[in-house]
Amino acid sequence: MIEVRGLSKSYGQTKAVDNVDLSIKKGELFGLLGPNGSGKTTMIKMLTGQIKPTSGTLKVHGLDVLDDPLKVRELVGVIPEQETPPSFLTAEEYLHFVAKIRKMEDCEEACNKWFEFFDFADQKNSLCKDLSRGTRQKLMFAQAFLHEPELAIIDEPLINLDPVMQKKVKDFLQGYVKGGGTIFISTHILEIAKQICTSVGIIYRGKLVYTGRLNDPEIQGRNFEDFFLDLVSRRKEISTDILKKRAEEISAPA
């Protein structure tokens, strides 16, 4: 469902994503994990055709994202990082608008299903700007799954949701992949990955330093948090040395 080869994205000197290879099969609930600034959002932006890679290839849903970014966005359900629905539309108008873009014939039932699922039917006529942050996230979630995409890509799916809604969303995501869907999420919350993901990738400083299942022999018998911290802090020591050297160079007399 997702095939990435040699994918890189640089912003000036910063290698946000560095030579990543990744394959995600249909039916996976894949979690991309990594500390802040490790390249998760940049990966998602490339997968969804929001930004172009510096180099590499990427296929999503069998489509080359570089050749056909519009088609990819039409097929795939996406929740970008920190995205909120347009302030000037009501919640219902926004879902109808998305349904039109998704070329859905009759969206009334699908929209109502989501208002009920997230328990905010009483606010469907409110302007999005007047909704709470959590409710805006619910709406973003609804728009991504409205057309029941085969693949959904979600940056931090549980952000701003209360524990009751988090549980609902986690159950929904697990059910979705059991029903044949594929989901790619990014998160820096390890607990979420442990609870719901069928496979994970760990990205650190743009490099994919691990991919596999949570029950892989490499992890088995070890606490996943320790495994994760080992992977990223081992590299942190290296980078700390580099930073120290740079600081010495900068402070050295000319």
Ligand X SMILES: Nc1ncnc2c1ncn2[C@@H]1O[C@H](COP(=O)(O)OP(=O)(O)OP(=O)(O)O)[C@@H](O)[C@H]1O
Shortest Cβ distance from residue 40 to ligand X (Å)? 4
Shortest Cβ distance from residue 231 to ligand X (Å)? 15
Q: Which of residues 149-178 bind ligand X (CB under 6 A)?
A: none
- Residue 187 binds ligand X (CB under 6 A): no
Candidate residues 31, 39, 49, 85; the one interacting with ligand X per rule CB under 6 A: 39
Q: Which of residues 76-115 bind ligand X (CB under 6 A)?
A: none
- Residue 37 binds ligand X (CB under 6 A): yes
Candidate residues 1, 8, 41, 202; the one interacting with ligand X per rule CB under 6 A: 41
Candidate residues 36, 103, 109, 251; the one interacting with ligand X per rule CB under 6 A: 36
Binding residues for ligand X, rule CB under 6 A, total 12
Shortest Cβ distance from residue 26 to ligand X (Å)? 25
User: What residue type is 9 in one-letter code?
Assistant: K
- Residue 123 binds ligand X (CB under 6 A): no
Q: How is residue 44 written in tokens?
A: 């998602």
Q: Which residues contact 221 (CB under 8 A, 6 or more apart)?
A: none
Q: How far apart are CA 81 and CA 178, in angstroms?
A: 25
Pair type for strands 14-24 and 2-11: antiparallel
- Residue 73 binds ligand X (CB under 6 A): no
Q: How far apart are CA 106 and CA 100, in angstroms?
A: 9
Instruction: Please report which residue ranges of the chain form alpha helices under DSSP H.
Output: 40-47, 69-75, 91-101, 108-117, 133-145, 163-178, 190-196, 224-251
Q: Provide the sign of the torsion angle of the four alpha carbons 76, 80, 85, 91, taken in this order.
A: positive
Q: Which is nearer to ligand X, 40 or 138 (CB)?
A: 40
Q: How is residue 171 written in tokens?
A: 């159950």
- Residue 34 binds ligand X (CB under 6 A): yes
Neighbours of 230 (CB within 10 A): 12
Shortest Cβ distance from residue 5 to ligand X (Å)? 19
Site residues (CB under 6 A) for ligand X? 11, 14, 16, 34, 36-42, 188
